[in-house]
Amino acid sequence: MPSKAAADTPLFAEREEWADVQPLEQYEGVNPIAPIFYSPEYKDATGYFRAIVQAGEKSARVLELTENIIRQNPAHYSAWCYRYETLLALLPPPAEDADAGAQPDIPPLLAAELALMDELAVTFLKTYQVWHHRRLLVPLARQPRRELAFIQRGLAVDAKNYHTWSYRQWLLAACYGRGAAADPAMPDAVLDEAAGVWAGELDFVDAALAQDVRNNSAWHHRFFVVYGARGQADSEAERARIFRRELIYTKQNIAIAPSNPSAWNYLRGVLRETNTPFAAVQDFARLYAYPHSADETRDVVDLDNPAPGADAELPCVQAMEFLADAWETEAGAEMWKSLANEHDTIRRQYWEHRIRDAHQTIKPAVE
């Protein structure tokens, strides 16, 4: 399969092996409005593509044609879709006597497709279609480990790429989630590695956050791994252990860089998920919600309440908001006022809304 850029290859119109196809021009009308100025190469390839689709041909040369189009326009979803259908038509059917739980052999055609996708996904990182096509190939190849390694390379290029992260999450849920165990087509070898894979994901997040503690995609991934994909642990003791681990992890990361909304949102998420009142963490938040004080003591290391460093810019608005939300009382209203008038003025109307809202709920309780 050629992997050269379209510009280096002759037009399909000039190729002997395509002489039997009459290209179909795109309907443009007599006097087209808002046309796109196509390059000759694009016009050529898409003309042959329309003809192939009309004829319903699903042969090896269709793979070459669709690859050519995709390299020129990776968002051409019709070309991707037709390519997938052609692949399915050309791949040998799975062996009849194969053990349902066995790892399938990879036919050469599929291996070539996977290699091509490794190249294209990095070149066209921001295109929906490249990621979806990979997803379609996973049930055919059933090698999720290979995919996890590939994704790691993708994230090295773009650490916050939405498609890359959501693909990783899909892969984990589909191959190692609760549903995968009930999937008769899932190879035993894949199921056996699940526990190790989930544990590895926490290290993966750790490494991403060590690179950039403000990477919200990595924080979201942590939530997905700890709570989202598999739900809460069955045993009370295990739930408590995980909760404590997540609290310490988050607090330590907040201590490194306090004004980090990703970390505070994660903290809120963990508390909400475990039905823990925010007030349970107020001693920690208090350390961050006020200006540095003269009598700060940093020599006492409190694991539960790690203190801000000397470089921390205090007060941290996220800590102030956290405390106000934890209290929702007169003291909370004071905090909201301070946010509205001084520390987070762009959101003044929201803070005022919170004050009004809290008053409405506080009042009846007082009367």
Partner 1 sequence: MSIKATSTDGFPTSTSRSQAETESVLLEHLPDPASSAATPVLQKNAHMQFLIRNLVQGFPTRYISQDASQPWLLFWTLQAFSVLQVALDPGNKQRCLEKIMAWQHPDGGFGGGPGQAAHLLPTYAAICALAIVGRPGPGGGWDEVDRKKMYAFFLSLKQKDGSFLVAHHSEVDVRGIYCLLTVATMLDILTPELVDGTAAFIASCQTYEGGFASASHPPFPVSGSVLPPPAPRPPLGEAHGGYTFCALASWVLLRPYMEQTAEPKPEIDLKNLMRWLVHMQGTEIELGGFKGRTNKLVDGCYAWWCGGAFALLEALGLGGIQNADSDEVPVDSGVAAGVWDDVDESLFNRNALQEYILYAGQHPAGGLRDKPPKNADAYHTLYCLSGLSSAQHHIYPSRVRKSQVLEAWEPSGWSLLYVPNENARKVAFAELLSWTEEEGGSHIVGGKANRLNATHPLTNLTITHTEALTAHYYAQKVPERIRTAPKADPAA
Minimum CB distance to partner 1, residue 213 (Å) = 6
Closer to partner 1 at the Cβ: 16 or 87?
87
The torsion defined by the Cα of 308, 310, 312 and 318, in degrees rounded to 10, comes to: 30
Phi, psi of 60 (to 5 degrees): -60, -35
Q: Which two tokens stand for residue 14?
A: 């000039």
Please give the size of the binding site for partner 1, defined by CB under 8 A: 99
How far is residue 333's CA from residue 190's CA, in Å, rounded to a whole number?
Answer: 53
Of 270-309, binders to partner 1 (CB under 8 A) are 270, 272-273, 308-309
Q: Is 39 in the site for partner 1 (CB under 8 A)?
A: yes
Minimum CB distance to partner 1, residue 235 (Å) = 17
Site string for partner 1, 238-267 (x = CB under 8 A): ------------------xxxxxxx--xx-
Q: Is 117 in the site for partner 1 (CB under 8 A)?
A: no
Q: Is 332 in the site for partner 1 (CB under 8 A)?
A: no
Site string for partner 1, 161-180 (x = CB under 8 A): -x--xx--xx--xx--xxxx
Which distant-in-sequence residues (6+ apart) come within 8 Å of 270 by Cβ? Answer: 223, 227, 243, 246, 247, 250, 276
Minimum CB distance to partner 1, residue 79 (Å) = 8
User: Can you state the angle between helices 261-273 and 317-327, rounded to 10 degrees?
Assistant: 20
How far is residue 348's CA from residue 338's CA, in Å, rounded to a whole number?
Answer: 10
Q: Is 220 in the site for partner 1 (CB under 8 A)?
A: yes
Using the contact rule CB under 8 A, the part of the chain among 27-35, 143-151, 199-207, 330-338 near partner 1 is 27-35
Minimum CB distance to partner 1, residue 85 (Å) = 7
Q: Is 58 in the site for partner 1 (CB under 8 A)?
A: no
Sign of CA dihedral 336, 340, 341, 343: positive
The correct pick among 186, 285, 324, 333 for binding partner 1 (CB under 8 A) is 186
How far is residue 325's CA from residue 345's CA, in Å, rounded to a whole number?
Answer: 17
Of 68-97, binders to partner 1 (CB under 8 A) are 72-78, 80-81, 84-85
Minimum CB distance to partner 1, residue 15 (Å) = 21
How far is residue 244's CA from residue 305's CA, in Å, rounded to a whole number?
Answer: 12
Closer to partner 1 at the Cβ: 28 or 295?
28
Minimum CB distance to partner 1, residue 160 (Å) = 7
| DSSP codes joined into one string, 62-112 | HHHHHHHHHHH-TT-HHHHHHHHHHHHHHSPPPPTT--TTSPPP--HHHHH
How far is residue 242's CA from residue 245's CA, in Å, rounded to a whole number?
Answer: 5
Q: Is 42 in the site for partner 1 (CB under 8 A)?
A: yes
Site string for partner 1, 118-137 (x = CB under 8 A): ----------xx-xx--xx-
